Amino acid sequence: MIVLNVKNLTKYYGSDLILNNINLTLTSTDKMAIIGRNGAGKSTLAKIICGLEDYDQGEIYIAAGMKLGYFSQESTLNSELTIFEELQTVFQKQLNLKDQLQTLEKQMSEGKNIDYDFYTKLLLEYEEQGGYLFEYQIETMLNKFGFQGRFTEKVSHLSGGEKTRLALAKLLLDQPDILVLDEPTNNLDLETLEYLESFLKTYKNSIIMISHDRYFINQIANAIYEIELTEGSLYQGNYDSYLEEKDRRYQSQKKQYELQQKLIQKEQEFINKNIVRASTTKRAQARQKKLEKLELIKNPKIDAKNINLKFDINSDTGNIVLEVNDLAIGYDKPFVEHINFLIEKGERVAILGSNGTGKSTLLKTLNQVIPQLKGRIRYGARVEIAYFDQDLALLNSDKTVLAEIWDEHPAMLEKDIRKHLGNFLFTGDDVYKVIRSLSGGEKVRLALAKLALLNANFLILDEVTNHLDILSREVLESELLNFPGTILFVSHDRFFIKKLATRVFAIRNKRLIQYNGDYEYYLEKKQQEELPEVEEKKTSNNNYELLKRIRNEQKRQEKLIAQLELDIKQLEQEISELLSYSQTEEVYSDYKKAQEVHQLIETKQQELDEKIHTWIELME
């Protein structure tokens, strides 16, 4: 079933063409990733689809009754509710049913008459709507998104990043028919990212997602829509399939273009040679007309605009680059203690861990941005550090792009600075932009431009891929793979980690654990470590399932008891009314009718006795 169709959509910002003749169809089973470089128009397209932005030409069809849900990094929640209450608002229907049931049950406990059929109907509807499960769903989602033990905190007290994360959790619980996600993986730790992946893999409705996370796209997408040079192209399959198909299409179109150009050249030579001869003029004119009607094959274009990154070093280090002994890091209290490790020349070490475990704090401590609480940090001979801060705190927001570089390298000529900035896609008047007005991607490119001028032999990088598009990440990866120095980095980009890391440090339970192998080795060892936990969990899960069955049985019995009590009360009333009726002249004066009434009383009494007997058994 087609749930969304975009036809010939065109969008301008002023005189700038952003999207040109976009055609896109989404079915109920599609999980589509929209990819493209920063500024290609991906977010603009998502906003247009969700009705948050207008467009200049084209049509958008959304199937009747479809509910759209939109998330971006600007998504936030402003509420005086608690974290748990905020997510409860998704289940308003279930909450209303619960309130009605509780009201009726209170009336029953007070001995008041109620509409029993209506009560039974409500019970069934509550169960069908997942009334017994929604609180468990909320708890699971909050725990997975890092809000353990914080359910009663006010939403208004959360940080901006936490509000954004909570907004994503809320949208996932809402389960819209078309889920539109713009950069959902930003600032999620690996554990939350893996949960998000597993959730989206089994999501029953349609998904449109914008992401630069290649690993994430590969795991979820069954279709890729690429926006390149204002136009869109659809590829079936995941990211790996897209790469293969894009190359195949390019090579095929290139070959067809070159063959056609040769044909055109050959025909043109014949025309030029024969058009002036009387004997061959008609043939030449016929070929000219045929050539004019020929449908030209376009020369396939590739958006070649990309950063030109190069990390050089002033000098080599000794074999030992960094040695840490019994280090404790944190602020008032330690995040991580008893840290001991040695990093040698040429290593590329990844630091992994959940958000808030102290990864960035460790890098800040090693770079002397904050002091250590305890222990020793010793750098080796001739070590020169270049530090990339994920908060981009090393950029001065009030300066222009040009001044940011020139003030730190006053001996450089302006033309040389402009040339260097051009390598990072700052051209023309871009160099006069004030840093605070730059996008996230532009700020990262400027920070990398500063980093590259230091010629340091030890790079300390904290989430360096944040805000970079896929092409820029690939350039960065390639350059770091060829970097002759040493690298210590934090990242949640698994594709990046897998490609770069020669060793892994993992922070868990206030300890730093070393894995003397690459990312695949780390995953293998981590899986082995978790096996005992898994077995324990299985037992726990079995116990949980047993407990769940017991609870379900208890709930079933409670409902049955409640129904029996209603039936008993109803039967007692009916018997009482029949007894009163049997004393009337209408009955005792008519022998046959009296027999029928007494027979009915006996039947009702027998039914009452059976229900009372069942009620007693259940109560025991």
- The residue ranges of DSSP E strands in 360-455, in sequence order, are 374-379, 385-388
Tell me how far apart the alpha carbons of residues 293 and 15 are, in angstroms, rounded to a whole number: 32
Q: What's residue 294's pLDDT?
A: 87
**Domain formed by 320-530, architecture:** 3-Layer(aba) Sandwich (3.40)
Rounded mean pLDDT, 244-271: 90
CA distance 458 to 345: 9
Q: What's residue 543's pLDDT? A: 60
Tell me which residue has tokens 């009383």: 601
Task: Give the separation between CA 282 and CA 286, rounded to whole angstroms.
Answer: 6
First vs last C-alpha separation in the chain: 53
> Which pLDDT belongs to residue 540?
52
User: Is a pLDDT exceeding 90 seen at residue 84?
Assistant: yes
**What would the mean pLDDT of 69-87 be, rounded to a whole number?**
90
User: Given pLDDT bands bounded at 50, 70 and 90, which one contains residue 611?
Assistant: confident
Tell me the C-alpha distance between 515 and 505, whole Å: 6
pLDDT in tens, 100-118: 988 988 888 787 887 878 8
Averaged pLDDT, 400-407: 94
Task: Tell me what the mean pLDDT of segment 388-395 comes to.
Answer: 90
| Cα dihedral 158→164→166→169 (10° resolution) | -170
23-37, 277-291, 430-444: least confidently modelled range: 277-291
| Statement: residue 94 has pLDDT above 70 | yes
**Predicted local distance difference test score (pLDDT) of residue 551:** 63
pLDDT band at 408 (very low <50, low <70, confident <90, very high): very high
Provide the angle, in degrees to the nearest 10, between the axes of the packed helices 134-144 and 160-174. 140
Among residues 53, 19, 62, which one has the least CA distance to residue 9? 19
Contact indicator for 71, 27 with CB cutoff of 8 Å = no
At residue 620, the pLDDT reads 57
Confidence of residue 619 (pLDDT cuts 50, 70, 90): low
Q: What is the pLDDT of residues 165-202, one digit of tens each?
A: 999 999 999 999 999 999 999 888 888 999 999 999 99
The pLDDT tens digits for 471-500 are 899 999 999 999 999 999 999 999 999 999
pLDDT of 504 strictly over 70:
yes
CB contact at 8 A, 519 and 350: yes
Task: Find the radius of gyration of the CA atoms of the chain.
Answer: 35
CA atoms within 13 A on the CB side of 34: 29
Which pair of tokens denotes residue 322?
């960094």
Residue 327, judged by CB atoms within 10 A of its CB (0-12, 13-18, 19+), counts as: buried
Two tokens at 247?
Answer: 């190359």
C-alpha–C-alpha distance, residues 215 and 495, integer Å:
6
How confident is the model at residue 231, as a pLDDT?
A: 92
Answer whether residue 37 shows pLDDT above 80.
yes
Q: Residue 297 in 3-state DSSP? A: coil
- pLDDT mean across residues, the chain: 89
Average pLDDT over residues 300-309: 78
Q: What are residue 227's phi and psi, to 5 degrees? A: -105, 120
| Closest alpha carbon to 23 in 54, 61, 69, 68 | 61
Task: Please give the Cα distance from 457 to 465 (Å, whole number).
Answer: 20
Average pLDDT over residues 262-288: 88
**pLDDT at residue number 550:** 63
Tell me what pLDDT residue 41 has: 92
456, 462, 431, 429: which is closest to 446 by C-alpha? 431
Domain coordinates in residue numbering, the chain: 81-157, 268-301, 320-530, 554-618
What's the average model confidence in pLDDT over 522-545? 68
Tell me 518's DSSP state: -
Rounded average pLDDT over 518-535: 81
How far apart CA 485 and CA 318 sit, in angstroms, is 11
Q: Are strands 57-62 and 223-228 parallel, antiparallel or unpaired?
A: unpaired
Contact 375, 328 (CB under 8 A): yes
Q: How many C-beta atoms lie closer than 10 Å to residue 209's C-beta? A: 24
In whole angstroms, what is the distance from residue 362 CA to residue 377 CA? 11
Smallest CA-to-CA distance from 322 within 451, 454, 455, 458 is with: 458
